[in-house]
Amino acid sequence: MAMNTPHTLRASDLLFPTPVSIEDRDGSYRLHSTTTIAASPPFEETADTAAALLGCKRGGEDILFKHIEGLDDEEYRLSISTVQVVITASTTRGAFHGLSAVRKLALINDNILPACRVCDKPAFVWRGFMLDCVRHFFSVDFIKKLIDAASLFGLNRFHWHLTDDQGWRIPIDGWPKIEEIASRRSELQYNDGRTYGRLYTKEEICEVQAYAHKRQMIVIPEVETPGHVSALLAAYPEFGCTGGPYEVQDRWGIFNEVLCAGNDAMLAFFEDAIAQVATLFSDPYIHIGGDECPQSAWEACPKCQARMKAEGLTGEHQLQSWLTSQICAMVHKNGKRPIGWDEVLDGTEEMGLPDDLIVQSWQGIQGGLEASRRGHQVIMSPNTVGCYLDYRHRDSAEEMGNLGVSTLRQVASFTATPPQMDEQAKSMVLGAQGNLWSERVLSARQAEYLLFPRLQLLAQQLWNPREADENLNRIELLTKYCEKLDIHCYRGAVE
Ligand SMILES: [Zn+2]
């Protein structure tokens, strides 16, 4: 046999995110189509998934999923010898992460699994990514491809941005103009009257969830309130302060037309819509938006002013927090937990917010600091330190991307618990997300280029945070993973 064949590589050189503990051993196990997989309860389904993903079959114990008590929720042990692969865990989540480690070794090393022993578990519970499917309508096939790749690197939350100024993508029974009007926009750069966008069907939404759940990934739908609602207002202009007319926007920005907080018919719509979303999506969270809501329309609206008076509110900021509380109550009524962008904190110093509202800190880290100080759990996705993956990879006019820069080094050194946080604040941080807004994304291939390898680096920092240089030294490995996954990634300079 020739020297330097692929199987002389060590598992510790190949696994990413770097496991918490890994010991390389001599020899390797060769995976092939007759390799068999067995599982002890409750891992039969994981074993089925493993057989499908690894191209093996159920039956004997070449690969064995073993259940033991006492490991943490997502923890796993992996032992690869020359004769057997054993994955040990206490939960199906842990067993799935063990499977992902095997799958990565098989993928990157031509089905030859270098012998090793791994003990591994994630540092943070919330390891997510957000995809804006409003500005660009991504196909279900592409969403599944992304979920698969993200789960392979240990991410476990898919935040699905589904309503905004430029469209509404969730079917809502009994409100026909959602599909007729809110789901599509006129493409103003063409003069032939063409429109862009559609709803996802309920079947597609269920298909995405089933696919994600097989990969131990939770799906969080986002329904924007009270701003970023032009599409909804175009369909139901009575929900706005002026009564319209409004249009589904084909421009990017922040629009002054927002939900009329004085309008009970608008509240009735959301009562119904949130209930339907809560039924359609089976996981425990609903994101209610809350970002970038101008209040000028409320200042000029007699109905909003009457609401403020009736509720004893002293300013429009308080009207936003009143409305946030109303929407949160609808989410609670349906047994779900609300998440909001960090503007939900504005104007709530006196009024407060529901205790269980999770705050997503996007405008830098300040929102996270403030929310954690006030007792809210926090998801960090600061646009200032690398979490906005629609930003360019480097500060160059030749690079694709929108608005800002998120360098590989920023992501590689990202910490979800920055040093400005004291121990109490850090204890409120669930984890973090990378967000891909899609105003300037025209295709799935462009999305891949923006997401990778930054999403892999973020996954490392949420699984097992390392020094930036250690992560950046492995960019070539990440690129190779992308090749194997048919993902077009950024290959330019590291800055
Ligand atoms: Zn109003």
Cα-based distances in Å from 460 to 71, 74, 123, 155, 492: 21, 15, 10, 9, 20
* 348 CA distance to ligand 1 middle (Å): 20
- Pairing of the two strands 112-120 and 63-67: unpaired
| Residue 85 and residue 158 in one domain | no
Q: Which of 58, 117, 121, 53 is nearest to 89 (CA)?
A: 121
**Are 392 and 411 found together in one domain?**
yes
- pLDDT average, residue stretch 249-274: 96
Apex 220 CA angle, 119 and 241, nearest 5: 155
User: Per-residue pLDDT tens for 160-194?
Assistant: 999 999 999 999 999 999 999 999 999 999 999 99
| Span from the CA of 297 to the centroid of ligand 1 (angstroms) | 7
pLDDT value of residue 348: 76
Q: Same domain for 284 and 364?
A: yes
Question: Which tokens is 237 given?
Answer: 């202009």
Q: How far, in Å, from the CA of 224 to the mean position of ligand 1? A: 17
Tell how far the Cα of 351 is from the centroid of ligand 1, in angstroms: 20
Q: What CATH code is carried by the domain that includes residue 37?
A: 3.30.379.10
258 CA → ligand 1 middle, Å: 8
Q: Which two three-digit tokens encode residue 93? A: 């989540």
Please report which confidence band the pLDDT of residue 430 belongs to, taking 50, 70 and 90 as the band edges.
very high
CA of 38 to the centre of ligand 1 (A): 61
Between the CA of 320 and the centroid of ligand 1 the distance, in Å, is: 11
In a domain, 495, yes or no: no
How do residues 241-254 score in pLDDT, each as one tens digit?
999 999 999 999 99
Q: Does residue 248 contact residue 181 with C-beta atoms inside 8 Å? A: yes
Is the domain of 161 the same as that of 89?
A: no
pLDDT in tens, 5-37: 544 789 999 999 999 999 999 999 999 989 999
The pLDDT mean for the chain works out to 95
Q: Is 102 in the same domain as 244?
A: no
For residue 53, report the distance from its CA to the centre of ligand 1, in Å: 52
Last residue of a domain, one of 120, 147, 180: 120
As a dihedral over the C-alpha atoms of residue 283, residue 199, residue 256, residue 293, rounded to 10 degrees, the angle is: 10
Domain end marker among 120, 151, 176? 120
Q: How far is the CA of 307 from the centre of ligand 1 (A)?
A: 9
Ligand 1 centroid–CA 43 distance in Å is: 53
For residue 246, report the distance from its CA to the centre of ligand 1, in Å: 14
Q: Is the model's pTM score more than 0.85?
A: yes
pLDDT range class, residue 67, cuts 50, 70, 90: very high
Contact 344, 321 (CB under 8 A): yes
292 Cα–ligand 1 center, Å: 17
Q: Separation of 331 CA from ligand 1 center, angstroms?
A: 22
pLDDT for 1 equals: 42
Q: What is the pLDDT of residue 7?
A: 46
Q: Looking at the structure, do residues 54 and 181 belong to the same domain, yes or no?
A: no
Residue 299 Cα to ligand 1 midpoint, Å, equals 8
- Under DSSP, the state recorded for 110 is T
Ligand 1 (ion): residues with CB under 5 Å are 241, 260, 262, 301, 303-304
Residues 102 and 141 in one domain: no
- How far is the centre of ligand 1, averaged over its atoms, from the C-alpha of 259 (Å)? 7
CA neighbor of 429 nearest in space, from 482, 381, 491: 381
Residue 398 CA to ligand 1 center (angstroms) comes to 44
| Residue 490 domain-assigned (yes or no) | no
Which residues is 131 bridged to in the sheet?
A: 160, 436
Which pLDDT score, from 0 to 100, does residue 110 have?
95
Report pLDDT for 2: 42
Phi then psi for residue 22, to 5 deg, are -145, 135
- 82 and 138 in a common domain: no
Give me the percent of the chain exceeding a pLDDT of 90. Answer: 93
The residue among 94, 120, 146 that closes a domain is 120
Distance from the first to the final alpha carbon of the chain: 41
Structure tokens of 191?
Answer: 């003069």
User: Is residue 361 situated within a structural domain?
Assistant: yes
Q: What is the dihedral of CA 415, 129, 214, 121, to 10 degrees?
A: 0
